[in-house]
Chain A
Amino acid sequence: MKALALAIVVLVGGLLISATVDFPDWGDPASPAALHVSPRYIEKSMEETSVPNIVTSVLADYRGFDTMFETTVVFTAGVACFLLLRRREPRPGPSRVYRHRASGVIVEMSQAPDTEPAPEVFKRIDDDWTPHDLIVMNVCRLLIPFIQLFGLYVIAHGHHSPGGGFQGGVILGASVILLALSWDLRTASLRMKEVATGLMSAIGVFIYAGVGALALAMGGNFLDYAALAPILRVDPVAARSLGIFFVEVGVGLAVMATMVLIYKNLASEGRLDQGL
């Protein structure tokens, strides 16, 4: 196998390297890629969509259809992870571990009780026991709101600075994952239930496709945000800018929920009872 792999790699690599001779030099401002399609985006982005960040305007408007399917890819991955991993049967092994909140004493119950002990007295801990770390937990608790605020800023400010729905959505999702890592998966699940993640990921993509379909219903082509101008009561250029904002919100919602869904399923092998 290794010899075969080496042969394939050398062959493909040789072909790829020999073709670079015909390429324009790296960074050449006169290369075909710099002269054919992209100048229009750079020169007209401001005029046609009123979005200074050209990457955002190309991503969500000129090539917005790609981006819709890109969001769908993320959604698909979330559904796929759920389909492959999720199972309802509880973890084998009867014992459960609790920490007495007042004293900090750890208790292991070898026979799982039918009812959980009062949660304000006993806190359940994962089988893979990690020490109760006051600093990590509280620092993360303090940080998470700011991370989420930053995520929202990234989504909303994507028109003017690097960022947008994907980056912001991933940051928002990461804040929930951080909560699950520093506290535990059950705490994170209380804040964001499984059904909520599943619904949000579908609704996020639905916002994107729905904005497109609304444009279609208003008489434009699919995803032609300018057709939304009559409802939004603005001129077509501003309608494009607003349309981009709406779809970015949809993308952010879908990406956040999907990242959390994938993480929960991976970290708990699909049982969603305890994570890392």
Chain B
Amino acid sequence: MSEQYPALVVIGPLLCALLVSVAGWLRPRLCLPLALLGLGIAASSSTGLLAQVLTHGPVTYRLGGWAPPWGIVYHVDNLNAVVAALVSWVALTNLVASYRAVMTDYPEKIGPFYTLYVLSVTGMLGMVVTGDAFNLYVLLEITSLTGYALIGLGGGRAPLASLNYLFLGTIGASFYLLGVGYLYIVTGSLNMADLAKLLTPLHGSLALLAAFAITLVGLWMKMAFFPLHAWLPNAYGFAPSPAASLLAPLMTKVMVYVMIRVMISVFTVEFILSEVALSHFVVWLAVAAMVAGGLLALGQRDLKRMLAYIVVAEVGYMVGGAWLGNKLAMTGAILHIINDAVMTFCVFLAAGCIYQKTRGTAFEDLQGLFKKMPWTMTALAAGALAMIGVPPFCGFFSKWYLIRGGLEAGHWGFVGALLFSSLVNVVLFFRIFEIAFFEPMSHGHGGHDGHGEQGGPVALAEAPLSMLLPLMAAALGLIALGLATGPLVEKIILPIIPAGLG
């Protein structure tokens, strides 16, 4: 069975998503168990796959039994395997955490909701393990379509935000498709490994450079890299919280993974190092992303939107690290994919817990929450400390690698922006804690009279246990990941950093 793991990672959740859809029409109560089953298969087989890759080296799986480049293959090395395991475990935890919110908010539509949820995860996992450039596009579209629907489900401004995301996302995916077309016309192949071989003699040609530029712009649009980030704050800010805590941690990280995969496995490091002007430009864009993301986050008056802008800044960390062009920075970027997924998941899930109780995440809704929801706020604090980069938490270690990479490259702008962004995170989160900790419960805000007795003792109103336990797991995961940094880097990340990097 173990040689079938790469297929099971994708097929398990796909088949279960279809069963969830059938159950949604006939027996809605079976939806959640089936969805859990699907993601459970994905999580266990991706963990098995990771173990297998670590012991036996990269795995290649031929779908339909056809050899590459004619058929589609899955090529799984350490990087894919670890990202696949990350995606499936985060999605599974979020599924457990979000079931209460789904039951209360969309009781009639749990069937379609869970179908799309599981399909979205299927698409992400497929994107992570695939070794075929066109197959990646199809899976990207599945993830995007489910994302549009899950975001557009929210009330208020959510449909408009989702439609804007759809427009920009379609432009992004189409640019990626066009880039693949440019590669296809000059090489005649779609398989990533085969492309890397065929592209080497073409280095320096204009068509290749154009293909690279278009592909990157397409991916950047999907990951909300700075000048192309306009869709993200609204989309994630107005999305229903179960969808936000699935998409915000995973979607951007998976796209950063795809970018790194395209950089090192299709265009190869030699090509990227030869385009000095381009990589310089991209690192400066990343600097702009960190600074702008931080500054825009300062202007927000809503927890979810503030977190969405922090995601924009975090994307800058990873893209900048990937483009600095040395081993330390690349290690930092890959490590940050893992860490940032868990950190973002933790804070968005905490925001979801708060929303579940207060029905709002504007700053005035947060008053007195430390007394009302002590556990949730502790987890939020853990996420915040990780995002700021305080040592026992995982965020510190990836930032440490990134800063060392920046110093080695002599790029002071990048180092400065990273420190600046961490400082902004300090301000942002301490402002939240000040509101949640010190300010009294009712304040007579504008029309908010009749808010309860003035200054009375605040009753404990913690989120339900089904949300709290996954949240605690995520918060503990932050520390565990931080403590496991050493083996993670040694065993998993270093072997896949291409030797060509300085």
A and B touch in the complex (CB under 8 A): yes
Report which A residues bind B (CB closer than 8 A). Answer: 15-16, 18-24, 31-38, 40-41, 61-66, 69-70, 72-73, 75-77, 79-80, 82-84, 86, 88, 195, 198-199, 201-203, 205-206, 209-210, 212-213, 216, 220-227
* A/B interface sample: 29 pairs, CB < 8 A: A15-B214, A16-B214, A19-B206, A21-B207, A23-B186, A24-B185, A32-B188, A32-B198, A34-B188, A37-B188, A40-B70, A41-B70, A66-B135, A73-B138, A73-B141, A79-B21, A79-B119, A83-B149, A84-B149, A88-B108, A198-B21, A198-B25, A202-B18, A202-B19, A206-B18, A206-B22, A209-B11, A213-B15, A216-B4
**Given contact pairs A22-B186, A64-B64, A83 touches B135 in the complex (Cβ within 8 A):** no
How many of B's residues come within 8 Å of A, CB to CB?
Answer: 64
- By the criterion CB–CB under 8 Å, are A221 and B7 in contact? yes
Residues of B within 8 A of A (CB): 4, 7, 11, 14-15, 18-19, 21-22, 24-26, 61-66, 69-72, 108-109, 112-113, 115-116, 119, 122, 126, 132, 134-135, 138-139, 141-142, 145-146, 148-149, 152-153, 159, 178, 182, 184-190, 198, 205-211, 213-214
* Cβ–Cβ < 8 Å partners of A84 in chain B: 149, 152-153, 159
What CA separation (Å) do A94 and B24 show in the bound complex? 32
A38 to B70, CA, bound (A): 8
Contacts of B211 in A (CB 8 A): 19
**Which of B63, B142, B146, B190 is close to A65, meaning CB atoms less than 8 Å apart?**
B63
A202 near B21: Cβ-Cβ < 8 Å: yes
Q: Is the CB of B61 within 8 A of A221?
A: yes
Give 6 nearest A-B pairs by CB, closest first: A36-B188, A19-B210, A80-B149, A22-B207, A224-B65, A32-B188
Contact residues in B for A22 (Cβ distance below 8 Å): 186, 205-208
Smallest Cβ-Cβ distance to B137: which chain A residue: A66
A200 to chain B, nearest CB (A): 10
How far is B214's CA from A224's CA once the two chains are assembled, in angstroms? 34
Contact assessment for B134 and A15 in the assembled complex, using a CB-CB cutoff below 8 Å: no
A33-B184, A36-B198, A73-B138 given. 10 additional CB < 8 A pairs?
A22-B206, A24-B185, A37-B70, A76-B145, A76-B146, A84-B159, A202-B18, A202-B21, A203-B18, A203-B22
Contact yes or no, A221 B188, CB < 8 A: no
Query: Which residues of A have CB within 8 Å of B19?
Result: 202, 206
Q: Chain A: interface secondary structure?
A: helix
Q: In the assembled complex, which residues on chain A have CB atoms less than 8 Å from the CB atom of B188?
A: 31-38
In the bound complex, CA of A82 to CA of B113 (Å)? 10
Report B183 CB to chain A, min CB distance, Å. 10
**In this complex, which of B4, B185, B187 has the most chain A Cβ atoms within 10 angstroms of its Cβ?**
B185
A205 to B122, CA, bound (A): 14
| Cβ of B61 to closest chain A Cβ, rounded Å | 7
Whether A80 contacts B142 in the complex (CB less than 8 A), given A18-B206, A221-B64, A222-B64, comes out as no
Q: Do the beta carbons of A76 and B4 come within 8 Å of each other?
A: no
Q: Are B138 and A66 in contact (CB under 8 A)?
A: yes
The interface residues of chain A lying within 8 Å CB-to-CB of B186 are 22-23, 32
Q: A83-B109, A221-B64 are in contact. Are A15 and B210 (CB under 8 A)?
A: yes
Contacts of A70 in B (CB 8 A): 138
Among B113, B138, B208, which residue has its beta carbon within 8 angstroms of that of A83?
A: B113
- A200 and B8 CA atoms in complex are apart in Å by 24
B14 adjacent to A72 (CB under 8 Å): yes
Contact between chains at B63 and A223 (CB < 8 Å): yes
